Amino acid sequence: MAIYTKEETKAIMSKALEFSKADSCEVNLYGSNSGNIRYARNTVSTAGAQSNQTLAVQANYGKKVGTATIEEFDDASIEKVVRRAEELAQLSPESEEFMPPLGPQEIAESNQYHESTAKIDPEYRAAVAATSIEPAKAKGVTAAGFFEDSANFSSMMNSSGLYAYEQSTGLEFTVTMRSDDGSGSGWVTRDYNDVGRFDAEMASQIAIDKALQSREAKAIEPGKYTVILEPAASMGLLQNMIFSFNARSADEGRSFMSKEDGGNKIGEKIVDERINLYSDPLHPLVPASTWTGEGMPREKTVWLENGVVKNLAYGRYWANQKGVAPIPFPANGIMDGGDASLEDLIRDTKKGILVTRMWYIRTVDPQTLLYTGLTRDGTFYIENGKLKHPIKNFRFNESPIIMLNNLETLGQQVRIDGNLIPSMKIRDFTFTSLSDAV
């Protein structure tokens, strides 16, 4: 099915607003075409495709709010969904935190759409799987992977005159390569808006190499070690932190961003002064949505500057309570890196551990942002600037705040899951036990 143009979305949403009899009305119209292929044991296991468009109507009478959705867009269907949202609003309990629709906003043009990605077909997906499986088979390695692509549109309009529209495309690829004897495992992830940047063969080869290099791992004692975290490894810990810059929970005294004597940590230095973290939906390598679901513009926002907290996200209700301007939650996270390549970081390390990836990360203590989880798919001991041998996986208990205070060196940035994160060298990283898992 089609990815609707601006004009098509305006025509459908205008009709919905014309039917509305509520105090105010806000409509979102969005849809996507997506496809995927999954493989395991060196053969394709499933493949699928989905297409959908949805019109969501939110109506309110005072603070009583109702939402209804429909997937058909003829006049009768549009009127039906508006009436249903209004009925639901009349029957709903009052929602104290309801904020009326925003007026017109200045919204930057998004740069997330690439026609080449929108044109991906089942043959391309099958070729990705084959490109991944064939070299694995040849090396005595078993591939299990997943590739998913999508083309999307998103639009909104409300009774206060706000209209927003964007198109986007994206692809995600992960593959786990295991040596046929089960003693080694490697992994890689890639995600892009533009399929032209994606090289399935090169990505798969990295995972194959890691699988072969990680065979016959030796156990070393858990404890505090200098670690080099590949971007996928540090992302596991940083992702939760980046999306927890929440003013409300900080002000309420129940966040790592809460100050001991009340209030939040804006203005406080919480990590090493070399840490700069921001979000920017217009960054060319990690473009993201330039507006939120309620039509608030997303702009470049600095969260940490020279280790100091510069901003926290304020939802519209909380911003209103506190008398400040709302700041949307980020759609991406970008951490400044350095010039050092991963090889440079390894070469400059006397004793340490290289971590490919971390897994099953869960919060242990929200007060200190302590997380636990395990290394996975390629963990190596470094001695005198070289990878000496693979080691068995560790469980860690570590907080990204402590980790970013123990920073030694920042390396080059890599795109991971829509974010731009550097590799980093950290001292005194806490491993608490050994795992036999490969």
Partner 1 sequence: MRRRDFIYVAGAGAGMLATPIPILGKSIHAQELINPGMAPAQKKGLADVALNVARSLGATYADARIGRYLNQYLFTREDKVQNTVNTESFGIGIRVIANGTWGFSSTNDVTPDGIKKATELAVAIAKANSKIQTEEVVLAPVSGHGDVSWKTPIIKSSMDVPVSEKVNLLLEANNKAMENGADYITTALFSVNEQKYFASTEGSYIDQDIHRIWPFMNITAVDKSTGKFKNRQGLGAPMGLGYEYMIPDTNEEVKGAGGVTLYRNRYNLIQDALDGAKQAKEMLKAPSVEPGKYDLVLEPNHLGLTIHESVGHPLELDRVLGYEANYAGTSFATLDKWKTKEFNYGNELVNLVADKTTPGSLGAVGYDDEGVKCKQWDLIRNGILVNYQAIRDQVHMIDQSESHGCCYSQSWNDVQFQRMPNVSLEPGKEPYSINDMIKDVEKGIYLVGRGSYSIDQQRYNFQFGGTLTYEIENGEIKGMINDAAYQSNTQQFWNSTSKICDTNDYRIFGSFFDGKGQPSQVSAVSHGCSTTRFDGINVINTGRNI
Q: Which residues are within 8 A (CB) of 223 and not within 5 positions of it... i.e. 6 or more apart?
A: 431
Q: In the numeric block, which tokens belong to residue 298?
A: 């997303």
Question: Taking CB under 8 A as the criterion, which residues in 275-304 touch partner 1?
Answer: none
Interaction between residue 350 and partner 1 (CB under 8 A): no
Place of tokens 């909380």: 318
Pick one of 26, 86, 148, 280: the residue that binds partner 1 (CB under 8 A).
Answer: 148
Pick one of 10, 24, 40, 274: the residue that binds partner 1 (CB under 8 A).
Answer: 40
Q: Where are the beta strands (DSSP E) in 99-210?
A: 141-158, 163-179, 185-192
Interaction between residue 359 and partner 1 (CB under 8 A): yes
Interaction between residue 316 and partner 1 (CB under 8 A): no
Closer CB to partner 1, 326 or 411, in the complex: 326
Q: In the numeric block, which tokens belong to residue 91?
A: 């029957």
Interaction between residue 32 and partner 1 (CB under 8 A): yes
3-class secondary-structure state, position 55: strand
Question: Taking CB under 8 A as the criterion, which residues in 228-257 touch partner 1?
Answer: 246, 248-249, 252-256
Closest contact distance (angstroms) between CB of 189 and partner 1 is 10
Pick one of 234, 372, 379, 409: the residue that binds partner 1 (CB under 8 A).
Answer: 372
Question: Taking CB under 8 A as the criterion, which residues in 161-200 touch partner 1?
Answer: 170, 172, 174-176, 178, 187
Question: Taking CB under 8 A as the criterion, which residues in 128-147 touch partner 1?
Answer: 142, 144-146
Closest contact distance (angstroms) between CB of 433 and partner 1 is 5
Question: Taking CB under 8 A as the criterion, which residues in 415-434 touch partner 1?
Answer: 432-434
Interaction between residue 221 and partner 1 (CB under 8 A): no
Interaction between residue 397 and partner 1 (CB under 8 A): yes
CA count, 13 A, side-chain hemisphere, 237:
30
CA distance to 15, 162, 288, 290, 294, per residue, from 103 (Å): 19, 5, 22, 16, 10
Q: In the numeric block, which tokens belong to residue 306?
A: 């020279």
- Nearest to 366, CA basis, from 224, 222, 252: 252
Pick one of 92, 131, 183, 311: the residue that binds partner 1 (CB under 8 A).
Answer: 92
Which segment (4-12, 86-94, 101-109, 113-121) binds partner 1 by CB under 8 A? 86-94
CA-to-CA distance for 248 and 314, rounded, in angstroms? 7
Q: Which residues are within 8 A (CB) of 122 and not within 5 positions of it... i.e. 6 or more apart?
A: 35, 37, 47, 49
CA-to-CA distance for 117 and 120, rounded, in angstroms? 5
Q: Are 112 and 170 in contact (CB under 8 A)?
A: yes
Question: Taking CB under 8 A as the criterion, which residues in 98-127 touch partner 1?
Answer: 126
Interaction between residue 155 and partner 1 (CB under 8 A): no
Pick one of 76, 106, 262, 339: the residue that binds partner 1 (CB under 8 A).
Answer: 262
Q: CB 38: neighbour CB atoms within 10 A?
A: 16
Q: Are 204 and 132 in contact (CB under 8 A)?
A: yes
Closest contact distance (angstroms) between CB of 429 and partner 1 is 13
Q: CB 27: neighbour CB atoms within 10 A?
A: 26
Q: Which residues are within 8 A (CB) of 405 and not within 5 positions of it... i.e. 6 or more apart?
A: 271, 272
Closer CB to partner 1, 105 or 367, in the complex: 367
Q: Which residues are within 8 A (CB) of 18 and not within 5 positions of it... i.e. 6 or more apart?
A: none
Interaction between residue 68 and partner 1 (CB under 8 A): yes
Pick one of 43, 77, 105, 321: the residue that binds partner 1 (CB under 8 A).
Answer: 43
Q: In the numeric block, which tokens belong to residue 178?
A: 């295991």
Pick one of 186, 307, 373, 422: the residue that binds partner 1 (CB under 8 A).
Answer: 373
Pick one of 395, 412, 427, 428: the residue that binds partner 1 (CB under 8 A).
Answer: 395
CA-to-CA distance for 188 and 210, rounded, in angstroms? 9
Question: Taking CB under 8 A as the criterion, which residues in 398-417 touch partner 1?
Answer: 399, 401-402
Closest contact distance (angstroms) between CB of 276 and partner 1 is 19
Closest contact distance (angstroms) between CB of 250 and partner 1 is 9
- Nearest to 37, CA basis, from 139, 152, 168, 174: 174
Interaction between residue 91 and partner 1 (CB under 8 A): yes
What DSSP designation does 302 have? E
Pick one of 24, 47, 206, 220: the residue that binds partner 1 (CB under 8 A).
Answer: 47
Place of tokens 């005595």: 140
Closer CB to partner 1, 45 or 341, in the complex: 45
Closest contact distance (angstroms) between CB of 376 and partner 1 is 6
Interaction between residue 36 and partner 1 (CB under 8 A): yes
Closest contact distance (angstroms) between CB of 20 and partner 1 is 16
